[in-house]
Amino acid sequence: MPRQSDKTTCLVAGAGPAGMMLGLLLARAGVDVTVMEKHADFLRDFRGDTVHASTLGLLDQLGLGPRFASIPHRLIETIRMKLQGQPVELDLHRLPGRHQHIALVPQWDLLELLADAAQTEPTFRLLRSTEVTGLLRGADGARVVGVEYRDSSGETRQMRAELTVGCDGRSSTVRSALGWQPRGFGAPMDVWWLRLPRRPGDPGGLAGVFDTGHGTITIDRGDYYQIAHVIPKGSDAEMRAQGMPALHRALVRTVPWLADRIDTLSSFDDVKLLDVQLNRLRRWYSDGVLCIGDAAHAMSPVGGIGINLAVADAVAAARILAGPLRTGRAPAARLARVQARRWAPTAFMQAMQRAIHARVVAVAMTSGDPQPPRAVRLVAQSRRLRWVLAYLVAIGPLPEHAPRYARRGG
Ligand SMILES: Cc1cc2nc3c(=O)[nH]c(=O)nc-3n(C[C@H](O)[C@H](O)[C@H](O)COP(=O)(O)OP(=O)(O)OC[C@H]3O[C@@H](n4cnc5c(N)ncnc54)[C@H](O)[C@@H]3O)c2cc1C
């Protein structure tokens, strides 16, 4: 039985990119906000570490640009793909704004930066090792009035909140407690994440090769490559059973210059599966509760845009909700406005990802056709199309800007 009750204005479940950004912005608006994170720290498995141009611009607006710049990171200025023999290069130099690149930082460094900034605000609280386990309902049995959670000592407690925001990712507890099922769009692939050493003089940046039956993306992380190796959906067990030599052969086939270091990858313990999901909730809110980020829409890794979209959701939510939350209210009509604002860019980017799944990834994974698909040839030939793609990846449709109350510096 729960033994203790507490109160906050906005309870954020999950301290990923969406939850930390929302917590920071609401705290800067003077809203009492409590973020609960089930892990003790941000140091966990690789989760993707691309910080796109629009998020970099946002960090500048928040006065966090200099601190971000002091974190060791690498910049990607061109994305080079080879799709069934057809080279396609996305040049980010021509993008508008100060940041004509994508930055690569470990996600935990970005989250720690946001947490440090938020913790200087008197109305902010981050509870680590604290897991949301369920939702509290009001007297009408419908309105969500807070959460039940397990604290760092393992005790079950309750916290009441005017608004609960599910930022708890693709396996969201908040979403499950509401009984909501996202609509799934399927995906033709899963991804194996692994690392191989990078040596001085090796190619930098981000490069991908998709060929008949194979797909490999190498991301320069300084002294190593973070590698995404694309495998057919649901084939993890079968492919592991084929053994390490088969993986070595597949990697060297797509990226031949990895041959001289391929033996450093000796165990499948170092190969992590990403079960690719692409889904979206029909409705992101109900009375007293809202889901954003992956909890509302899991993105495919295509384009590496999941963090950017999660952050953009948080910015829109903070801008739309800070006013009413300051007076201790979160009317459902305002929650609806958050979904209305973020639905179109999300649906658009998911439609793009689905098209790339169907026309590029599935074709490369399954067909014996060595010809690149028509869509790929069109993009390769058209500078304008390549600019549009670069813009969509690095900035995205409807980029969100920091609310005035949250801006610091220049
Ligand atoms: C292996 C991998 C690689 C990826 N690569 C990229 C990439 O290169 N670029 C990119 O943009 N995106 C990438 N993504 C996707 C990206 O990580 C997500 O889209 C993004 O992190 C979503 O942010 P979020 O805040 O909505 O959710 P998450 O980042 O999933 O954060 C959810 C947080 O909630 C916490 N949590 C969960 N349940 C509870 C609970 N019950 N109580 C309290 N806390 C809870 C979790 O511990 C976590 O900290 C990758 C994802 C994975 C798994």
**Contact residues for 364 (Cβ-Cβ < 8 A; gap 6+):** 83, 84, 210, 211, 212, 213, 214, 215
- Please work out, in degrees rounded to the nearest 5, the angle formed at the alpha carbon of residue 230 by the alpha carbons of 369 and 167: 135
Q: Give the tens place of pLDDT for each residue, 127-180.
A: 999 999 999 999 999 999 999 999 999 999 999 999 999 999 999 999 999 999
Q: Cα–Cα distance between 359 and 277 in angstroms, integer? A: 17
Atom of ligand 1 nearest to the CA of 191: 1
**Which 8-state DSSP code applies to residue 359?**
I
CATH number of the domain that 401 lies in?
3.50.50.60
Residue 252 has pLDDT above 60, yes or no: yes
In this structure, are 170 and 52 located in the same domain? yes
For residue 49, the model assigns a pLDDT of 84
In this structure, are 173 and 255 located in the same domain? no
Establish if 78 belongs to a structural domain: no
Establish if 82 belongs to a structural domain: no
Distance of CA 327 to the CA centre of its chain: 31
Residue 2 has pLDDT above 60, yes or no: no
In this structure, are 294 and 259 located in the same domain? no
In this structure, are 294 and 250 located in the same domain? no
Average pLDDT score over residue span 259-269: 97
Name the residue of 21, 43, 46, 47 to mutate for ligand 1: max ligand atoms within 8 A of Cβ. 47
Residue in the structure block whose two tokens are 């509870």: 127
In this structure, are 200 and 298 located in the same domain? no
**Contact residues for 409 (Cβ-Cβ < 8 A; gap 6+):** 63
Q: Cα–Cα distance between 39 and 398 in angstroms, integer? A: 32
**Contact residues for 379 (Cβ-Cβ < 8 A; gap 6+):** 88, 385, 386, 389
Establish if 265 belongs to a structural domain: yes
Average pLDDT score over residue span 370-385: 89
Establish if 93 belongs to a structural domain: no
What's the gap in Å between 294 CA and the centre of ligand 1? 7
What's the gap in Å between 306 CA and the centre of ligand 1? 8
Atom of ligand 1 nearest to the CA of 133: 41
- Looking at every residue in the chain, the average pLDDT score rounds to 94
Q: Is any atom of ligand 1 closer than 6 Å to the C-beta of 36?
A: yes
Query: 298: exposed, middle or buried (C-beta count within 10 Å: 0-12, 13-18, 19+)?
Result: buried
Q: Is any atom of ligand 1 closer than 6 Å to the C-beta of 19?
A: yes
User: What is the three-class DSSP state of 163?
Assistant: strand
Determine which of 18-27, 112-121, 357-366 has the lowest per-residue pLDDT on average: 357-366
Residue 406 has pLDDT above 90, yes or no: yes
**Contact residues for 335 (Cβ-Cβ < 8 A; gap 6+):** 163, 284, 285, 286, 289, 290, 321
Average pLDDT score over residue span 13-30: 98
Q: Is any atom of ligand 1 closer than 6 Å to the C-beta of 294?
A: yes
In this structure, are 282 and 353 located in the same domain? yes
State the pLDDT confidence band at 3, using cuts at 50, 70 and 90.
very low
**Which 8-state DSSP code applies to residue 300?**
P
**Does residue 114 contact residue 20 with C-beta atoms inside 8 Å?**
yes
In this structure, are 215 and 358 located in the same domain? no
What's the gap in Å between 192 CA and the centre of ligand 1? 17
Atom of ligand 1 nearest to the CA of 14: 34
Count of C-beta atoms within a 10 Å radius of residue 199: 10
**Contact residues for 122 (Cβ-Cβ < 8 A; gap 6+):** none
For residue 1, the model assigns a pLDDT of 43
Establish if 194 belongs to a structural domain: yes
In this structure, are 27 and 160 located in the same domain? yes
Atom of ligand 1 nearest to the CA of 52: 11
Atom of ligand 1 nearest to the CA of 18: 25
In this structure, are 350 and 284 located in the same domain? yes
Residue 100 has pLDDT above 50, yes or no: yes
In this structure, are 228 and 282 located in the same domain? no
The CA-atom distances, in angstroms, between 296 and each of 174, 233, 278, 306 are 10, 22, 11, 11
Q: Which of 275, 310, 343 lies at the terminal end of a domain, its last residue?
A: 275
* Domains: count for the chain: 2
Q: Which of 275, 306, 323 lies at the terminal end of a domain, its last residue?
A: 275
In this structure, are 200 and 316 located in the same domain? no
Establish if 60 belongs to a structural domain: yes
The pTM for the full model equals 0.96
In this structure, are 223 and 260 located in the same domain? yes
Q: Which of 226, 241, 275 lies at the terminal end of a domain, its last residue?
A: 275
The residue segments making up the domain with residue 265 are 189-275
